[in-house]
Chains A and B, each alone.
Chain A
Amino acid sequence: MNALFSQAPILAIVIPLMGAPISALFRGAVLPWAIATMLSAASFWFSIDLLVHVNTVGPISYELGGWEPPWGIEYVVDPLSAFVMMVISGISTGVLLYARESILKEVSTDRLGMFFAAYLLALAGMMGITITGDAFNIFVFLEITSLSSYVLISMGERTDRRALFAAFQYLVMGTIGATFILIGVGLLYAMTGTLNIADIASKFDAIAHTTPVRAAVGFLIVGVAIKLAMFPFHIWLPNGYTYAPSIITAFFAGTATKVSVYLMIRFIYTMFGEDFSFGEIPLTSMLMTLGVIAFLSMSVVAIFQDNLKRLLAYSSVAQLGYMTVGIALASEMGLIASITHVFNHAIVKTGLFLTVGAIFYMVGSTYIKDLAGIGQRMPITSFAFVLGGLGLIGVPLTPGFVSKWYLVQAALERGDMVGYGLTIAMLISSLFAVIYVWRVVEVMYFRPAPEGAECKEAPLSMMIPCWIFVIAIFYFGIETSVNIGFAEAAASFLMGGAK
C-alpha cells in the first residue's frame, strides 16, 4: 500500500471539503466549475480505490488525527460504505461534467464561485456521513450537507421564485430530521458513554430494553426517515427537486436520499443489530407498510403531475419505497435488492434528470404541455429520455429490472401471504411506472410541436454526459458484476457482521 493510498479515506472527504473555499475565491464562468469537477473526480478515484481494496483485503479503519477509537473519530470503510461512496462521488462527477453550460443559464455568473463551493460542501458532507464511524460526526456531516443543499435549492430562484419556498420547506423538515437524529445520538451517548458506532453496537444489547435507548431508536429512525423522504415525510422532496437548478436536481436525485438509505441500513443493521430491529421492535411491519404505501401511492400521484421534474420526483419517492421494503424484509436477499437499487436508481434517475435539464436548457420549461413534439425537435435527447424511462420502468437489460428481480425474489422467499401480496403490489407499481413514463413519451412524440419551434439539440457538452449515463444504464443492466457483486458483498458483510 503506497503512502497516498493509506490516506485515501480522509482524502476522499477532505479534497472536496477543502476545495469549497478555494472554489469560492474564484470568479468567472469556467474556473469554479473546473475546480469542482477535478476535485469531485479525484474523490471518485479514491472511492473506487477504496471499494476495490475493501473487497479484496478487508475493511479499513482510519484514525482521525491519530486518536484511537472510541475516543477519537474513526473513519470506517467497509463494503457498504465504500459502495455508497463510489455511487455518490461517481454521480457527482458525472453531473459536474454536464454542469458547465447548463448552470450558466440558471445561475448568474458572479455567484458561480459560491455555487460550486456549496456543491463541493454537499458532496463532502455526503461522503463524510457515509465514511464516518462516529455517531456525532454523522450529525455534523449531515448538517454540512443540509445547509449547503438549502443554498443549492434556493439557487433555482432565478428561473422560478418558488425555489425559495421549496428551500425553506426543506430547511424546516430537514432541521427537524437532523434534530431528531441529534437527540437520538445524545440519548445513546448518555446510556453508553460513547459515540463510536462500533462501540455503541457492542454495548447495545445489554441496554436495549431500557426506555432511553428505545426512545433513541425511535428518534433515529424517524429522523432518518424524514431525511430519506420516506412516506409520509416526503413533502419537501417534490418541491425541492422541482424548483432546484437542473444539475442540483440530478445530483440530489442520485445521492442525497441514497445517503439516507445508507444511514437507515447502518443504524438498523450495524448499530441496533438485526435481532433487535426486527425481533424486539416491529420495524419490519412498520417500514414495510410505509414502503408499500409509498411506492403505490406515489406512483399514482406521479401519473397526474403536469411538471416533468415533479413527476420524476414523485417517482423517486416511490423508488425509495422499494428500498425501504428491501430493508424491511430483513433478509440478505432483501438487503441486496435495497443496496443494488441505491446504485441502479441513482444512475437511472440522474440520467433522466440530466436529459430533462437538456430539454429545459433548450425549451425553458419542464411542464409536460410544453414538451409537445420534442421528439422531433430534439430527437437525440428525447431518445435518451425514452431509454432512461425504460430503466425506470424496469425493462429487462436495464438496472431497474435487476433490482426488481432481486426484490421480487426476496419477497417470494418469505413464502407467506405477505410475500405474495408484496410481489403483486410491486408489479402493480411497475405498471404505474409504465403509465407515467409513457404519458410523457406520448406527448414528446405524438403532439405536434408548436408553430415556429426550431429543431436544435442542447450543446454537446451536455449531450455527451447524458449519453454516458444512458449507456451506463444499459451497461449495468447487462453486465451486473459491479452493482450486484458489490451489493452482495456489502449485504453479506452486514448480515455476517451483525451480532
Chain B
Amino acid sequence: MMITPDIQVALSLLIPLIGAVGMALCYAAPNLRETVTLVTAGALFVNTVTLLQVVLAGGAPEYSLISNLPGLEIAFKIEPLGMIFAMVASTLWIVNSVYSIGYMRGNREPKQTRFYICFAIAISAAMGIAFAENLLTLFIFYEVLSLSTYPLVTHKGNDAALKGGRIYLGILLGTSIGFFLPAIIWTWALTGTTDFTQGGILLGHAGPVVTGILLFLFMYGIGKAALMPIHRWLPSAMVAPTPVSALLHAVAVVKAGVFSVLKVVIYIFGLDILSGNFATEMLTWIAAFTLIAASTVALTKDNLKARLAYSTISQLAYIVLAASLVTPMAMAGGAMQIVMHAFGKITLFFVAGAIYTATKKTEISDMRGLGRQMPFTFIAFLIGSLSIIGIPPLGGSWAKFYIMLGAVEADQLFVLAVLLISSLLNIAYLMPIVIRGFFYPPLGKSDPEVSVGHERSMITRANIKEAPLLCVAPPLFTAFGCIVLFFFIDPIYQLLLPILMP
C-alpha cells in the first residue's frame, strides 16, 4: 500500500494507539515497554515531519474517517495552525518520554504501564485535535483528551489526587458539555456546517448579539484555555507526576485549549465578524485581567509547581488576548506563543521534576542554594524563564513582539501596558528562584567569609549532585530549543502566512 499524505494523517492518530497496545503487551518488561514508547514517539515525529514537508509545499492532506451524523463527519484536514500544534506536541513527546523514564524510575512510581498507555492515548487525542476538520471532530478528541488524562492526574491515587482529579474532570467536562457543545450545535443550527473554513462560517448567519453570546459560549466552553474564572482545574491538575504536568499541562492539554480558541476565532467566526463587536472587546478585558491576576497569584505561591501553574494560566491568556484582538499580526503572535510557551514552560516543569527527583523539594523557599548543587538544571531554568518573560535572544520574545504589533494594529494601546506589566510580573516571580538558587547559601548554612579578590566559585565538582541524566538532559535540550527558535522564527511565520493574508 502506498503511504500517501492522506493516509499519514490517519497514521498520526494510529501510531500512538498502536504504541499503546504495544506498551500494554510489554507490561512485564519495563525496558522493552520504554523502548516501545520511544520508538512510537520517534515514528510519530517522523510522520509529522513528513507531513510538515507536504504542508510547506502548499498541500492540505485530509482524511475522512466516518460519517457520524448526517452532514457531520469525523474528518481530518491539515492547515498551518494545526500543523504547528502537531509539530510541537510530537517533538516534545519524544523529549518528554525520555524524561518520563528518568522521573518515573527515579521516583519509583507505581503503575507505570498505565501511565505510558494513557500518555499515548492523550497524544493521539492531541493529534486528533490538531488535524480536526470540523468542530465536531475537534470536540470529540477534546473530550477524549480530558478523559484519557484523568488517570494521569490522579496517578498517585491518594486523597489529594482524588480531589484534584475531581476538580480537573468536573471543570473540563462541565464546561465542555455545558457551553462548548451547545455552542457547536448552535453553530450547526445556524449555518448547517461545522467545517473550519477560511474566513469563518458565521458571517451572514448571526447578528452581533448572537455572535457575542456564541463567542462567550466558545471561550468558556473551551475550559482548557483556562480563562478566569474557570482556571481552577489547572492548579488542581498539578497533583499529577511532573512529566504529566510538563507535557500535558504545558503542552498538550492547555495548548489544545488555546489552539481551539484560535481555530474557532479564525475559522468559525472569521476576523471580520468579530472586529468591533462589543463581546470581543469584553473578551480582551477578561483576557487582560486573567493575564495580570494569574501572574499576581503566581507571586504568592511558594510551591514551585503551583507557581508554574498560575504562570501557565497567565501565559495562556496571552493567546486568548491575541485572539480577541482579531488582527492578523495578533493571530501570528498567538500561534507563536503556542510554540514558544510550550518549549519554555516544559523546561521549567522538567526542572521542577528534576529538583524533586534529586532532593524531594517542592517549595521554593527550600530551594536556596540549590543551583550550586544542580547548576545545569538551574541554567536550563534560567533560559526557560527568560524565554517566557520574552527577552531576546529567546523564542518567547517573538510571540510577545507580534502580539504587541497586533495590539497596535487593533488600536488597543492599553494592551501594551498590560503586556508590559505582565512581563515585569514574570520577572518578579521567575527570577527569584534562579537568584536564590545560585546566590543564596543553602538553608541553615552561611557562606564562609572571603576577602575581596579571593572569591571562589561555589560550584565545584564535589558539590554537584544532579538528578539522573535522563532528568537533566531533557530540560537542557528544550532550553536549547528556546534559543534555536529565536533564530528560526521565519519558517513558522512563512507557514502561518496563508491564514494571515488570505
Residues of A participating in the B interface, judged by any CB pair closer than 8 Å: 390, 393-397, 402, 404-405, 408-409, 412-413, 423, 427-428, 430-431, 434, 438, 442, 445-446, 478-480, 484, 488
User: How many Å lie between the Cα of A484 and that of B68 in the bound state?
Assistant: 10
User: How many Å lie between the Cα of A479 and that of B154 in the bound state?
Assistant: 32
User: How many Å lie between the Cα of A488 and that of B181 in the bound state?
Assistant: 22
- The reply to whether B143 and A396 form a contact with Cβ atoms under 8 Å apart is yes
Q: Tell me the minimal C-beta distance from A433 to chain B in angstroms.
A: 9
Q: Which of chain A's residues have a CB closer than 8 A to the CB of B68? A: 402, 478, 480
- The reply to whether B177 and A446 form a contact with Cβ atoms under 8 Å apart is no
- The reply to whether B69 and A484 form a contact with Cβ atoms under 8 Å apart is yes
- The reply to whether A412 and B186 form a contact with Cβ atoms under 8 Å apart is yes
Q: Tell me the minimal C-beta distance from B72 to chain A in angstroms.
A: 8
Seed contacts A434-B177, A438-B166, A446-B157; 13 additional CB < 8 Å A-B pairs: A396-B140, A402-B68, A402-B69, A408-B181, A408-B185, A412-B186, A427-B178, A427-B182, A431-B178, A445-B154, A446-B161, A484-B69, A484-B70
Q: How large is the interface on B (under 10, 10 to 19, 20 to 34, 35 or more residues)?
A: 20 to 34
- The reply to whether A427 and B189 form a contact with Cβ atoms under 8 Å apart is no
- The reply to whether B140 and A405 form a contact with Cβ atoms under 8 Å apart is no
Q: Which of chain A's residues have a CB closer than 8 A to the CB of B162? A: 442, 446
Nearest residue in B to A442 (C-beta to C-beta)?
Answer: B162
| Top 4 A-B pairs, shortest CB-CB distance | A396-B140, A446-B162, A408-B185, A412-B189
Nearest residue in A to B190 (C-beta to C-beta)?
Answer: A412
User: How many Å lie between the Cα of A412 and that of B185 in the bound state?
Assistant: 9
**B336 on the A face (CB < 8 A):** no
Count, A-B residue pairs, CB within 8 A: 64
**B147 on the A face (CB < 8 A):** yes
Q: Which of chain A's residues have a CB closer than 8 A to the CB of B70? A: 484, 488
Nearest residue in A to B140 (C-beta to C-beta)?
Answer: A396
Q: Which of chain A's residues have a CB closer than 8 A to the CB of B66? A: 478-479
- The reply to whether A438 and B69 form a contact with Cβ atoms under 8 Å apart is no
Q: A427-B177, A434-B173, A480-B68 are in contact. Are A446 and B182 (CB under 8 A)?
A: no
Q: Which of chain B's residues have a CB closer than 8 A to the CB of A488? A: 70
- The reply to whether A405 and B69 form a contact with Cβ atoms under 8 Å apart is yes
User: How many Å lie between the Cα of A150 and that of B169 in the bound state?
Assistant: 41
Q: Tell me the minimal C-beta distance from B114 to chain A in angstroms.
A: 10
| Interchain Cβ contacts under 8 Å between A and B, 12 examples | A390-B147, A396-B140, A397-B144, A405-B69, A408-B182, A409-B188, A409-B189, A427-B177, A427-B178, A428-B178, A446-B154, A478-B68
- The reply to whether B166 and A442 form a contact with Cβ atoms under 8 Å apart is yes
Most buried by A among B68, B139, B140, B186: B68
**B174 on the A face (CB < 8 A):** yes
Q: Which of chain B's residues have a CB closer than 8 A to the CB of A393? A: 173, 177
User: How many Å lie between the Cα of A423 and that of B147 in the bound state?
Assistant: 24
User: How many Å lie between the Cα of A405 and that of B169 in the bound state?
Assistant: 21
Q: Which of chain A's residues have a CB closer than 8 A to the CB of B161? A: 446
Q: Tell me the minimal C-beta distance from A401 to chain B in angstroms.
A: 8
Chain B positions 167 through 198: 1 when the CB is less than 8 Å from some CB of chain A, otherwise 0: 00110011001100110011011000000000
Most buried by A among B161, B170, B177, B188: B177
Q: Which of chain A's residues have a CB closer than 8 A to the CB of B74? A: 478
- The reply to whether B140 and A397 form a contact with Cβ atoms under 8 Å apart is yes
Most buried by B among A393, A395, A434: A395
Q: Which of chain A's residues have a CB closer than 8 A to the CB of B157? A: 445-446
User: How many Å lie between the Cα of A430 and that of B139 in the bound state?
Assistant: 16
B139-153: which residues lie under 8 A (CB-CB) from chain A? 139-140, 143-144, 147
Nearest residue in A to B141 (C-beta to C-beta)?
Answer: A396
Q: A390-B147, A438-B169 are in contact. Are A480 and B140 (CB under 8 A)?
A: no
User: How many Å lie between the Cα of A409 and that of B136 in the bound state?
Assistant: 14
Q: Which of chain B's residues have a CB closer than 8 A to the CB of A402? A: 68-69
- The reply to whether B174 and A409 form a contact with Cβ atoms under 8 Å apart is no
The dominant DSSP class at the B interface is helix
Q: Which of chain A's residues have a CB closer than 8 A to the CB of B170? A: 434, 438
Q: Which of chain A's residues have a CB closer than 8 A to the CB of B147? A: 390, 395
User: How many Å lie between the Cα of A402 and that of B174 in the bound state?
Assistant: 18
Q: Which of chain B's residues have a CB closer than 8 A to the CB of A397? A: 140, 144
Nearest residue in A to B179 (C-beta to C-beta)?
Answer: A427
- The reply to whether A409 and B185 form a contact with Cβ atoms under 8 Å apart is yes
User: How many Å lie between the Cα of A402 and that of B67 in the bound state?
Assistant: 12
Q: Tell me the minimal C-beta distance from A232 to chain B in angstroms.
A: 27
Q: Tell me the minimal C-beta distance from B297 to chain A in angstroms.
A: 27
Q: Which of chain A's residues have a CB closer than 8 A to the CB of B181? A: 404, 408, 427
Q: Tell me the minimal C-beta distance from A91 to chain B in angstroms.
A: 23
Q: Which of chain A's residues have a CB closer than 8 A to the CB of B173? A: 393, 431, 434
B181-240: which residues lie under 8 A (CB-CB) from chain A? 181-182, 185-186, 188-189
Q: Which of chain A's residues have a CB closer than 8 A to the CB of B140? A: 396-397
Q: Which of chain A's residues have a CB closer than 8 A to the CB of B143? A: 395-396
User: How many Å lie between the Cα of A404 and that of B177 in the bound state?
Assistant: 10
Nearest residue in B to A394 (C-beta to C-beta)?
Answer: B177
User: How many Å lie between the Cα of A442 and that of B151 in the bound state?
Assistant: 11
Q: Tell me the minimal C-beta distance from B44 to chain A in angstroms.
A: 22
Chain B positions 66 through 100: 1 when the CB is less than 8 Å from some CB of chain A, otherwise 0: 10111000100000000000000000000000000
B368-401: which residues lie under 8 A (CB-CB) from chain A? none
- The reply to whether B185 and A480 form a contact with Cβ atoms under 8 Å apart is no
Q: Which of chain B's residues have a CB closer than 8 A to the CB of A404? A: 181
- The reply to whether B182 and A480 form a contact with Cβ atoms under 8 Å apart is no
Q: Which of chain B's residues have a CB closer than 8 A to the CB of A413? A: 189
Q: A394, A434, A484: which contacts B174 (Cβ < 8 A)?
A: A434
Q: Tell me the minimal C-beta distance from A26 to chain B in angstroms.
A: 44
User: How many Å lie between the Cα of A431 and that of B66 in the bound state?
Assistant: 28
User: How many Å lie between the Cα of A390 and that of B169 in the bound state?
Assistant: 13
Nearest residue in B to A439 (C-beta to C-beta)?
Answer: B166
User: How many Å lie between the Cα of A405 and that of B140 in the bound state?
Assistant: 13
User: How many Å lie between the Cα of A438 and that of B174 in the bound state?
Assistant: 12
Most buried by B among A390, A393, A408: A408
User: How many Å lie between the Cα of A219 and that of B157 in the bound state?
Assistant: 54
Q: Which of chain B's residues have a CB closer than 8 A to the CB of A438? A: 166, 169-170
User: How many Å lie between the Cα of A350 and that of B169 in the bound state?
Assistant: 26
Q: A390-B147, A430-B177, A431-B174 are in contact. Are A396 and B139 (CB under 8 A)?
A: yes
Q: Tell me the minimal C-beta distance from B458 to chain A in angstroms.
A: 45
User: How many Å lie between the Cα of A397 and that of B169 in the bound state?
Assistant: 18
Nearest residue in B to A426 (C-beta to C-beta)?
Answer: B182
User: How many Å lie between the Cα of A434 and that of B144 in the bound state?
Assistant: 15
Chain B positions 247 through 267: 1 when the CB is less than 8 Å from some CB of chain A, otherwise 0: 000000000000000000000
Q: Which of chain A's residues have a CB closer than 8 A to the CB of B185? A: 405, 408-409, 412
Q: Tell me the minimal C-beta distance from B221 to chain A in angstroms.
A: 11
User: How many Å lie between the Cα of A409 and that of B189 in the bound state?
Assistant: 7
User: How many Å lie between the Cα of A396 and that of B134 in the bound state?
Assistant: 14
Q: Which of chain B's residues have a CB closer than 8 A to the CB of A390? A: 147
Q: Tell me the minimal C-beta distance from A162 to chain B in angstroms.
A: 33
User: How many Å lie between the Cα of A402 and that of B70 in the bound state?
Assistant: 11
Nearest residue in B to A448 (C-beta to C-beta)?
Answer: B157
User: How many Å lie between the Cα of A394 and that of B143 in the bound state?
Assistant: 11
User: How many Å lie between the Cα of A446 and that of B186 in the bound state?
Assistant: 38
Q: Which of chain B's residues have a CB closer than 8 A to the CB of A394? A: 177
Nearest residue in A to B74 (C-beta to C-beta)?
Answer: A478
User: How many Å lie between the Cα of A431 and that of B175 in the bound state?
Assistant: 9
Nearest residue in B to A434 (C-beta to C-beta)?
Answer: B173
Chain B positions 115 through 148: 1 when the CB is less than 8 Å from some CB of chain A, otherwise 0: 0000000000000000000001001100110010
Q: Tell me the minimal C-beta distance from A298 to chain B in angstroms.
A: 18
- The reply to whether A431 and B177 form a contact with Cβ atoms under 8 Å apart is yes
Most buried by B among A402, A404, A427, A484: A427
